[in-house]
């Protein structure tokens, strides 16, 4: 009976605490992503523990977002695209309607102050 009570007490505590690998995954630093949707919020996604979000990454992401919003045609073309800024390195993901939209975005981002490199993972989804 004591063993059953002990297991009933310890088992929920052990399960609730989780394992080390899951705790490490929850403590990862975020990466700033410049949103291109109608929402004014900046989306932040977790990444590897070695990366950190700096104020300059936030400024770069917001600046890229503002530059995209200044061009309504480009903004409409980037509905299905995400732009991630991490330590000055920008990663483009998602789909754009034309190769011209892809090139325009890549050029806009690469010329933005604070951008060290651009990694392009955009696909062209012809509509």
pLDDT confidence of residue 9: 58
Q: Are 125 and 80 in contact (CB under 8 A)?
A: yes
Q: pLDDT (tens digit, 9 = 90+) per residue, 49-107?
A: 445 556 788 888 889 988 998 988 888 888 888 888 888 899 999 999 999 999 999 99
pTM: 0.59
């Amino acid at each position: 009976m004591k063993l059953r009570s002990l297991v009933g007490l310890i088992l929920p505590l052990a399960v609730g605490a989780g394992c080390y690998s899951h705790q490490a995954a929850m403590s990862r630093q975020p990466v700033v992503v410049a949103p291109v949707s109608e929402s004014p919020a900046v989306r932040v996604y977790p990444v590897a523990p070695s990366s950190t979000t700096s104020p300059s990454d936030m400024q770069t992401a917001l600046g890229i977002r503002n530059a995209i919003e200044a061009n309504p045609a480009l903004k409409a073309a980037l509905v299905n695209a995400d732009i991630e800024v991490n330590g000055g390195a920008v990663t483009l993901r998602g789909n754009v309607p034309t190769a011209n939209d892809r090139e325009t975005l890549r050029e806009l981002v690469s010329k933005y102050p604070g951008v060290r490199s651009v990694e392009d993972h955009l696909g062209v989804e012809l509509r």
